[in-house]
Amino acid sequence: MLSKIAVNLEKNSYQIAIAPNLLSKIGEYLKRLDIGNKIVVVSNSMIFDEYGNQLIEALKSAGFSVSYHIVPAGERHKTLLSVQKIYDTALENYLERSSTFIALGGGVIGDMTGFAAATWLRGINVIQVPTSLLAMVDAAIGGKTGVNHPQGKNLIGAFHQPKFVLIDPDVLKTLPSREFRAGMAEVIKYGVIWDQDLFQQLEAAERLDELDYLSLELLQTILTHSCQAKADVVSQDEKEGGIRAILNYGHTVGHAIESLTGYRLVNHGEAVAIGMVVAGKIAVKMGYWSEEESQRQDELITKAGLPKTVPHMLAIEDILETLKSDKKVKAGKVRFVLPESIGKITITDQVPPEIVGEVVKECQEKG
C-alpha cells in the first residue's frame, strides 16, 4: 500500500509518498534526493519522544549526519523568536546551502521549519514529515511557510516548496481525537471542492469521527485523494494567483470565528467545518448550489463529529466586520468560495452582506 503523488511545478517539482511504516524507510527515499549530508530535524518534545529516535536512526543508517532541534508545542510559539533559535541550531551544526531541515510534526512545526528553511542562507532544503491529519492533507504540501505576528496569524511568510513529503499514517495513532476530526474537515473540503469520488467514499463510510473506525484502506484512500487534490490545485497555481484560492472554501467565515473567539474555543478544522456549513447555505440562497447537496455536505460534517453552528456569543455585526479584514478581501469586497455541485466550485465577490448576515443568524447556536 504505497501511493506516490507528484506535485508538478515549473521549478522544484517533488513527490509525496504515503504508506504505513514509511518513517523507518525515510533514509532510502532521501538518499535518492540531492539534499546534502547534514540534516537538522525540527520537532516538539511530544512528537520527538514518540517518533524522533526512529526517524534519526533511519537517517543515520542511510549515512546522513543528523542533529535535532526542539521547539515548544503550540501555536503561540510559532514566532520569529522560535525561528531565531532554529537558526542558532543551524549555525552550531554548520549547515550549508545544500543542507536540509526535516519538519517532524503538525502544521505549526511544518510552517515554522519551512520558513526557517526559506530564509536560512537564502534558502536550504526542507522535507516535510507531517504527524497530524491536518498537516498531512494541507499544510505540508504546497510550500506556504510562515510564522505569526502579534497582530495576526501567518502575517510573516514565504513560499518555499519542500523537496519531499513523507506521510506515514501509523503516526496518527497518537493524535488526539479532536485533532483527527479537525483534519477530517479539510478532507471533506476536498470532497466538496474537487473530488466527487472522495466525497462518495466518505458518505459510504460507517463513521468518520475516530481514527479507530477507519479501515487501513479507507485511511489510505482519504490521504491519497486529499493529497492528490491539493497537489493538483498547487500544480496549477503555485503562488495563489487564481485557482489556489478555492482551497479557502469554508475558511472565510471560519477564520472570522477563529479570530473572534481568540483561537481557543474552536480549533482550525472546527472553524472550517462551520464555515463550510455557512458557505454551503449561502451558495444555496444565491442559487449556485442545490439544497440536497448542501445537506449531504452537512451530514458528512456531522458524521465526522464536527460542529455546524456559529458560537452563540458572537455578534453578527462583528463577524461581518471581521470578514472585511480577511486576507482574501480584494478592492473592499469579500470573496466567497461557493460550491456549484459536489466537486465543482466558484469564487465570487457578489454575495451581499445581508445574505451573509441572514445565513450566519440561521446557523447560530441558541444561547
**Residue 251 annotated to the active site:** yes
Residues in contact with ligand GLY, shown as a per-residue x/- string from 212 to 241 under the rule CB under 6 A:
----------------------------x-
Is residue 168 close enough to count as binding ligand GLY by CB under 6 A?
Answer: no
Specify burial of residue 226 (Cβ count, 10 A radius: 0-12, 13-18, 19+). Answer: buried
Active site residue 255: yes
- Number of residues in contact with ligand GLY, rule: CB under 6 A? 6
Query: Are residues 289 and 340 in contact, defined by beta-carbon separation less than 8 angstroms?
Result: yes
Q: Is 268 in the site for ligand GLY (CB under 6 A)?
A: no
Active-site residue, selected from the candidate residues 44, 148, 248, 267: 248
In the complex, least distance from residue 247 CB atom to ligand GLY, rounded to whole angstroms: 4
For the CB of residue 108, give the shortest distance to ligand GLY in the complex, in Å: 14
Q: How do 344-348 and 336-341 pair as beta strands?
A: antiparallel
Q: Tell me if residue 207 is catalytic.
A: no
138 makes contact with ligand GLY (CB under 6 A): yes
Check binding of 247 to ligand GLY (CB under 6 A): yes
Smallest distance from ligand GLY to CB 144, Å: 5
In whole angstroms, the minimum distance from the beta carbon of 251 to ligand GLY comes to 8
- The cell for 18 is 504515503
CB distance 111 to 139 below 8 Å: yes
Query: Which of 232, 240 has the CB closer to ligand GLY?
Result: 240
- Do the beta carbons of residue 163 and residue 100 sit within 8 Å? yes
Write the binding mask 4 to 43 for ligand GLY: x where contact by CB under 6 A, - elsewhere. Answer: ----------------------------------------
Q: How far is CA 205 from the centre of its chain?
A: 22
CB 135 within 8 A of CB 110: yes
Contact call for residues 264 and 341 (beta carbons, < 8 A): no
| Stretch of 138-146, 263-271, 284-292, 301-309 contacting ligand GLY, by CB under 6 A | 138-146
Which of 57, 203, 240, 358 is an active site residue?
A: 240
Question: 186, 238, 270, 293: which one is catalytic?
Answer: 186
| 218 and 164 Cβ atoms separated by less than 8 Å | no
DSSP character string of 222-242: HHHHHHHHHHHHHHH-TT-SS
Please enumerate in sequence order all residues whose Cβ is within 8 A of that of 50, keeping only pairs 6 or more positions apart, or say none: 171, 174
Applying CB under 6 A, the span of 137-145, 259-267, 293-301, 349-357 interacting with ligand GLY comes to 137-145
Among 230, 285, 328, 335, the one annotated catalytic: 230
CB neighbourhood size of 71 (10 A): 23
Does residue 144 belong to the site contacting ligand GLY (CB under 6 A)? yes
127 versus 134: smaller Cβ distance to ligand GLY:
134
Residue 26, CB-side half-sphere exposure with 13 Å CA sphere: 29
Q: Which of 78, 160, 189, 268 is catalytic?
A: 268
Nearer CB in complex with ligand GLY: 91/155: 155
DSSP for 152-184 reads: EEEEEEEE---SEEEE-GGGGGGS-HHHHHHHH
- The residue annotated as part of the active site, out of 38, 69, 181, 251, is 251
* Site for ligand GLY, rule CB under 6 A: 138, 142, 144, 240, 244, 247
